[in-house]
């Protein structure tokens, strides 16, 4: 049921926003917009299906520690 609600609300909102982006944006902006909307759609569908998505904070912390040679 939650998946149907997500689809019912997300698809029309995305289409209306996409029409605006299509008219007033460069190709680079369109590609970034599609990527962000696709990621958010996938995450919403996974959440509606009760799939646990791991937090990216642990990976980000490891990358920052590797770059700046930080230790606890």
- The confidence band for 9, taking pLDDT boundaries of 50, 70 and 90, is very high
Token digits of residue 70: 């930080």
Distance between CA atoms of residues 70 and 72, nearest Å = 7
Q: Is the pLDDT of residue 39 over 70?
A: yes
Q: Is the pLDDT of residue 35 over 90?
A: yes
The answer to whether the pTM exceeds 0.75 is no
Count of structural domains within the chain? 1
The parent domain of residue 41 ranges over 2-68
- The confidence band for 2, taking pLDDT boundaries of 50, 70 and 90, is confident
Q: Is the pLDDT of residue 52 over 80?
A: yes
Average pLDDT of the segment spanning 5-18: 90
Cβ–Cβ < 8 Å for 61, 52 = no
């Amino acid at each position: 049921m939650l998946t149907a609600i997500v689809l019912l609300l997300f698809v029309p909102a995305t289409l209306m926003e996409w029409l605006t982006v299509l008219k007033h944006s460069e190709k680079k902006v369109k590609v970034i917009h599609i990527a962000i909307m696709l990621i958010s759609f996938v995450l919403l569908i996974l959440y509606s299906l009760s799939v646990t998505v791991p937090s990216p904070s642990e990976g980000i912390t490891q990358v920052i520690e590797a770059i700046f040679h930080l230790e606890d």
